[in-house]
A and B are shown apart, each in its own frame.
Chain A
Amino acid sequence: MDGESAEVVVIGSGAGGAPLTHTLVRAGHRVVVLEKGPLLRTQAQSPTGLSDFKRDECFATGSEKRITVQGVANTGESYFSSHVEPDLNDEPHVYRDSDGRDRVTIEGYTAQVVGGGTQLYGGVSPRFTPEDLRLATLNASRGDLRDDPGGEVRREARDWPLDYAALEPYYTKAEELVGINGTWDGQAKVPSRDRYQPPLEPNPISAYAAAGMDALGMRRYRTPLAVITRDHAPSGRTVPADTDTVKTAFVNRYGDPLGLKSNAWVSLLAPLRDVNGSGGLDLRANCTVTHLEADGPRVTKVHYRDPGGRPRTLAAGTVVVACSAIESVRLLQLSGLLDPAFDKRVNANGLLGRYFLTHCFGGAQCIVPERSDKSKTLDSDWATDHCARPEWFRAQGLWAGGVIYNNTSDGALPLSLARTWHAMDMDTMWKGYLYDTSLVGNGFEDYLEESFGRRLSVAFMANQVPQRENRIELHPSVKDKWGRPVAYIIKTWHPHDRALMDALAEQCRQILVRGGDVRDVSSGSVGGSVVRIANHVLGGARFGTNAGDSVLDPDCRAWNFDNLYVTDGAFMPTSGSANPTLTIEANSFRVGDVLLDRVGRP
């Protein structure tokens, strides 16, 4: 099968790869999708009638493993990962900690499985606001930005090369084809058409968050969630007779055995299996792309390892890279390492890997008086755009805003409650609980009494200031199981990010304080930790109108290549005031239309 060729090759089957694949295959094209992870099927899809995902807390966070990577500061430490996260000893991400030492981390990975991070995501799916796409313009004449003595915020803010109106039809398309429930009333974004399915009844614990938002005059809406609550015609999925049973708390970090969570596989790729224009979808799971080969401005070959690890090549007409931002940048850098001419093209201006972004995020939590059954939830019930509005963030001396929503599935099940107790990030899973040695006997009783079904948290997700020094590189010494350098994450927070996080964390705290007779309210953010990525892996190959200032052109095509596109979160020049996936999907649908112009419309 070597000597094979394909008109279009898409690398990565997640939020960035699936939507454009959907567009192209529906238009009658053959697309080869190379996906590193397994093809885990739902019960209905599986020939044996059993899903590869389970409602089992050990799937989200498995047994203990230890870091054996040498030459880093956390060699020998324990870590716990899900069954679809890569193994850290085989394929680590390394970050430079604030003490200057390198550590291995599970942060910065989404999930490696057909569907990518959307298999595990909480499905919180708000749009970005129109302002998010024009932060340079919006801040150009500001002299009042807090904690920005050097003026970096204004200097580094970027407008997107397209405006909200250009993206809007694709948001609508994504909402319809992916399958999202929620409500529009109260949102700061206006849809051209309402494609939401109706939400399910909120969990009673969310009433405290709703009351707090009301007391503060924050307009609220039901958090848009990528979970179907009605039969979904575009993907052919159906819901159980009792739709309330869709709420199980096995949401965030769990794949859905029934496929009701709208991940990129069940929503966008699985429905293509019956489409066979000129070959349709050729999905190859368990295939890791190792590098691209180019001849001048054309990528000619994709090199990959098949499920047994054997090297193979595929000649390609058009190549789309969508491995999630860190891995996409790394793939391009690895290709450049093997061929200086490739490197020169893809990184002519030295910006590849630069302006890596995540979200400013944090929130507040408390103990509420009345217990609820938190096992009957999706990931969130109420959201507010109050602090995403320009009136609000301007008044606060901030450059941009963020969405706020309450979490419902956090600590909902007994093991997740324990292992996320005081855990600051993925790397400290279990540690808070273990070091709190008072949690034995009677202490354990008190802990359950206070925590089980009574912990409520409210989170914010906001724009991070783009900084050139925040970047992805190839690590100088650590290699993956194929002998290739691993990704090296170097990032910090700008002082303005910290100011913004403090302001938003305070708003979250207020929501809880005003929400009722709550206690033990605490708030915080990731401002003190450089490793946190919140699974939101963005930037590093930003798009723009100026070839000297961006890696991709407005169509997400690499500037000096004719046929190379990047469509995962890497394209973002700013990270938006909301969770990123719906926007990644909308943009991928947009690029799908661009590609149709290349390869031909039906």
Chain B
Amino acid sequence: MKIEVIEKDDQYILNHCTKYLARESRDARHDFGQYAPGDERAAICEAWRFPVVDAHWDGSSAAGSYPYNDVTFVYDGRRTAPASVAVLGTFGPLHSPVPLRPLVFAGEPTGFFATTVRVPKGQVHTYKFAVDGDYTLDPVNPQRTVLDNGEPWSRFFTDACTVPLSLSRTERDLLGRLVCHLLPFRLDENRRLIRGVYESLDRASRDEEFPLAYLLDDEVGTVNYIDKLIARQEQHHADDYHTCLKIIGEIIRSRFGGLDPAAAPAELYADLYRQMETEKVDGWDYSRYGSPRFFLLLLRRHAMTGAFVHPKHGGNSGAAGWMYLESRFRDARDGTLFDWRRALESPLGHNTDYRG
């Protein structure tokens, strides 16, 4: 496996550093519940932005560029001033760390180090920094994972990733049922419509336009979107999901005669929603989670976003949410009234001026 290092100028990288990392305050201004007390990352703004995952452009073609991301690793050496920093990770050969170069402002080193590598979309990787030869976790990135040998590593994932990271199989199945009820796709007519859209795609266009669509179901990738969101930007909501999915699973199971909640009829979910709205849910363990309504609102925001977000965020799988709107709303001559492909980058959309 050869690593492709991408040239980015210092301006690009500093653009991603100053707002988030430069500061005098060490207060936990950015702790929304995702950090243990005393964790220094709580002082950093939007620490989840590191490493920076961005689009890739190979200089010539959308088709050749679309399957990749540029991933920029940043090491903040302002306080310790290391002589050398490198990154070692599963995105490249494990025996050859990629060196980070010092970033310069007005001819002087800033203390930041960085490098950018090309990584395929849809992947999850672990990495560590080698700082003056010593291996350390990324002190900024909140994503960490413990490998089978008990070793903690820093982690990142690229766009349109469908590898489950936060939620268990059971949690995902239950969540799928929950979000289906919130979205319009579950209605028979719409379900047919979405199926139809997919089936009408021939093999080639499915590969070309939606190379990353992985499965079609009624929740159009919303569960995957949430799985990724609580792994990164909204890590502070991960516990809301674990706790509430457990409680809800228990409630539905008990209301469904002890059977698998994922197989329960839609009405049971509808009833549950109505109760959650009022904060009075029979059987809810309020000592474990105080406000079922809070969770409902969270779920609704995430479900809406996951269904119609740009597919690179892991939801709106295969742009099915957009295709639903595209086919749902037509003018008198059967032209679409949501021509989303026009503005968006090829090969996802049809625009070749804009590269994404």
Contacts and interface: CB of A to CB of B under 8 A. Distances in A.
Contacts of B273: 437, 440
Contact of A58 (B16, B28, B313): B313
A296 interface: no
A249 interface: yes
The CB with the most chain A CB atoms within 10 A, among B12, B56, B321, B351, is that of B12
A47 B9 contact: yes
A305 interface: yes
B249 to A, nearest CB: 20
A52 B11 CA distance: 11
B14 A285 contact: yes
Interface stretch (A273-281, A427-435, A570-578): A427-435
18 contacts: A1-B108, A51-B355, A58-B310, A65-B32, A87-B30, A89-B29, A286-B22, A308-B78, A308-B110, A308-B112, A376-B339, A414-B325, A418-B304, A434-B297, A437-B273, A441-B181, A444-B184, A482-B23
Interface stretch (A36-44, A117-125, A345-353): A36-44
B174 interface: no
A415 B355 CA distance: 21
* Interface range, A side: 35 or more
A68 B300 CA distance: 24
A284 B338 contact: no
Contacts of B7: 47-48
Q: Lowest 8 A-B CB distances belong to which pairs?
A: A309-B22, A38-B15, A63-B233, A286-B18, A414-B308, A308-B110, A248-B343, A89-B29
Given A38-B18, A47-B9, A375-B343, A64 B338 contact: no
B45 A308 contact: no
A57 interface: yes
B344 A55 contact: yes
B327 interface: no
A375 B350 CA distance: 14
A399 to B, nearest CB: 41
Contacts of B22: 286, 305, 307-309
A441 B184 contact: yes
A372 interface: yes
A54 B111 CA distance: 29
B353 to A, nearest CB: 5
Contact of A245 (B233, B342, B355): B342
Interface stretch (B138-146, B147-155, B164-172, B328-336): B328-336
B247 interface: no
B120 interface: no
Interface in A434-481: 434-435, 437, 439-442, 444-445, 448, 452-453, 479-481
A309 to B, nearest CB: 3
A55 B182 contact: no
A57 B183 contact: no
A258 B353 contact: yes
A308 B233 contact: no
B234 A57 contact: no
A450 B321 CA distance: 18
Contacts of B23: 90, 309, 481-482
Contacts of B310: 54, 56-58
B191 interface: no
The DSSP consensus for interface residues of chain A is: loop
B296 A437 contact: yes
Given A66-B32, A68-B31, A307-B105, A453 B309 contact: no
B24 A483 contact: yes
Interface in B314-356: 321-322, 325, 328-329, 331, 336-340, 342-345, 351, 353-356
A342 interface: no
Interface of B: 6-9, 11-12, 14-19, 21-25, 28-32, 45-46, 54-57, 59, 70, 78, 105-108, 110-112, 181-184, 186-187, 190, 229, 233-234, 236-237, 270, 273, 277, 296-297, 300-301, 304-305, 308-310, 312-313, 321-322, 325, 328-329, 331, 336-340, 342-345, 351, 353-356
A166 interface: no
B107 A1 contact: yes
A68 B28 contact: yes
A444 B183 contact: yes
A433 B296 CA distance: 12
Contacts of A191: none
Contacts of B105: 286, 306-308
Contacts of B112: 308
A49 interface: yes
B19 A430 contact: no
A245 B107 CA distance: 41
A90 B29 contact: yes
B332 to A, nearest CB: 9
Contacts of A483: 24-25
Given A257-B354, A284-B106, 7 more contacts: A54-B310, A54-B356, A64-B233, A65-B30, A257-B355, A444-B184, A452-B329
A68 B29 contact: yes
Interface of A: 1, 37-40, 43, 46-52, 54-58, 62-66, 68-69, 86-87, 89-90, 112, 240, 245, 248-250, 257-258, 284-286, 305-310, 371-373, 375-376, 414-415, 418, 430, 433-435, 437, 439-442, 444-445, 448, 452-453, 479-483
B6 A90 contact: no
Contacts of A308: 17-18, 22, 78, 105, 110-112
A89 B45 contact: yes
A440 B300 contact: yes
Contacts of A66: 32, 236
A415 B310 CA distance: 10
A243 B234 CA distance: 39
B88 to A, nearest CB: 24
Contacts of A62: 233
Contacts of A50: 54-57, 355-356
Contacts of A284: 106
B343 A90 contact: no
Contact of B187 (A48, A240, A414, A442): A442
Given A55-B354, A308-B110, A481-B25, A440 B14 contact: no
A286 B229 contact: no
Contacts of A444: 182-184
Contacts of B340: 375
Given A1-B108, A58-B313, A87-B46, A373 B339 contact: yes
A52 B15 contact: yes
Contacts of B234: 63-64
A247 to B, nearest CB: 9
A251 B325 CA distance: 21
A245 B340 CA distance: 11
Given A49-B59, A58-B310, A444-B183, A481 B24 contact: yes
A329 to B, nearest CB: 22
Given A1-B106, A56-B310, A68-B29, A375 B338 contact: yes
A202 to B, nearest CB: 16
A66 B106 CA distance: 35
Contact of A448 (B21, B184, B322): B184
Given A55-B354, A250-B343, A309-B24, A430 B301 contact: yes
A240 B353 CA distance: 7
Contacts of B313: 58
